[in-house]
Amino acid sequence: MDDIKQIDFAKILKAIRKHPKPYYKSLPIAVVLSSLFIICIPRSYTCSVTLAPEMSSLGSSSLSQVASSFGFDLSSATSSSSDAILPELYPDLVGSVNFRTSLFPIKVETEDGSLKTTYYDYLLRHQKRPWWSVAFNWCKNLFNNDDDVNNKKELNPFWLTKKQNAILMALENKITCSVDKKNYVISITVEDQDPLICATMADSVKNKLQYFITEYRTSKARNDLAYTEKLYKEAKARYVKSRQKYAAFADANEDLILESYKSKLEDLENDMQLNFNAYSMTSNQLQAARAKVQERTPVFTTLQSASVPLKPTSPKRMIFVAVITFLTFIGTTIKILYKEKI
């Protein structure tokens, strides 16, 4: 503390006034160089979307009551909602290879309408880069003659090409997803060099996330529904066939009163009744399976939809130049004080 109190700011100010030339040289150079540097860095835009997913306990009782009217209990389906993917895992889902590669074929268009292509092609061939990055990649390609053997192959998340993997890694910084642990509000943020593409991808990521979650949560229920529909069609076909067989036999032997005829007719009637009971039961099961799919389908409320950003979010050019200029001033001052031995 004593050393700090002994600093003579008057001497420091006097030394600065005594040597103005270093500032006349360093500060303009700092402004020019920092401006040239920051101008070379492409500007980027940010678009955010927020969603509120339904809680698994909400809305389940009503559908369970509807299903119970058919004589079926869906409480097991309701309780099994705990096996659904948790909101805390949504960021991991967005960051997965399958999810990010599913974004590659999305059609995008620049704000000025000069480019219409896929998102993958846009990231691969139409990204603006600073000149030193372009020069570095050019030099790197001179010494790298290894052709990617999978370049001509279709997109396969299991076996990506080098270029596809590079784009995949770039998406880690461009697309982020976070979940508020208190209220489970999902925030999706997309950063891109074009404002229209930025908003387009933010909306596409939201839709893809909803689709992935819906597919996951309803997968078993949809499989059960497909199997129940198969049983229903088979039971209906057996019932129709047995009814037709019964009617045909009854019409063909209408005037007969033989016991063998009565016994055969009774057997056909019993078989028709059994098939009808099976058909009626599978019909009820089909209605319950459809209700189960509807119950397992998640609902999302969009709190903030995607909109085209009007202003770039980075880089902050004025702030960058001001910081570099200030640091140059500090460095020049320290150098002067060192010479003056203050």
How far is the C-alpha of 159 from the C-alpha of 155, rounded, in Å? 8
Instruction: Determine the pLDDT at residue 57.
Output: 42
Instruction: Determine the pLDDT at residue 174.
Output: 92
How far is the C-alpha of 282 from the C-alpha of 298, rounded, in Å? 26
Share of the chain above pLDDT 90, in %: 39
In this predicted model, what pLDDT tens digit does every residue of 47-65 receive, in sequence order? 999 998 876 544 444 444 4
How far is the C-alpha of 98 from the C-alpha of 120, rounded, in Å? 14
C-alpha distances (whole Å) from 334 to each of 321, 331, 339, 340 are 20, 5, 9, 10
Q: What confidence tier does 232 reach under pLDDT thresholds 50, 70, 90?
A: very high
Instruction: Determine the pLDDT at residue 59.
Output: 43
Q: What is the DSSP letter of 61?
A: H
pLDDT > 50? residue 78 = no
Instruction: Extract long-range pairs of 40-44: CB within 8 Å, 24+ residues apart.
Output: 40/130, 40/131, 40/132, 41/130, 41/315, 42/127, 42/128, 42/129, 42/130, 42/193, 43/193, 43/312, 43/314, 43/315, 44/191, 44/192, 44/193, 44/312, 44/313, 44/314
Find how far residue 159's CA is from the centre of its chain.
21
In this predicted model, what pLDDT tens digit does every residue of 83-95 receive, in sequence order? 457 788 889 989 9
Instruction: Determine the pLDDT at residue 317.
Output: 87
Instruction: Determine the pLDDT at residue 151.
Output: 52
Instruction: Determine the pLDDT at residue 309.
Output: 92
- In this structure, the strands spanning 186-192 and 300-304 are unpaired
In this predicted model, what pLDDT tens digit does every residue of 105-164 receive, in sequence order? 999 999 988 899 999 999 988 888 887 777 777 777 676 655 454 454 577 888 888 888
pLDDT > 80? residue 299 = yes
In this predicted model, what pLDDT tens digit does every residue of 162-220 receive, in sequence order? 888 889 998 988 999 999 888 889 999 999 999 999 999 999 999 999 998 888 888 88
Q: What confidence tier does 223 reach under pLDDT thresholds 50, 70, 90?
A: very high
pLDDT > 70? residue 71 = no
Global pTM value: 0.71
In this predicted model, what pLDDT tens digit does every residue of 266-287 receive, in sequence order? 888 899 999 999 999 999 999 9
pLDDT > 70? residue 263 = yes
Q: Which of 14-28, 73-87, 244-258, 280-294 has the lowest mean pLDDT?
A: 73-87
How far is the C-alpha of 313 from the C-alpha of 332, rounded, in Å? 31
Instruction: Determine the pLDDT at residue 118.
Output: 93
Instruction: Determine the pLDDT at residue 6.
Output: 60
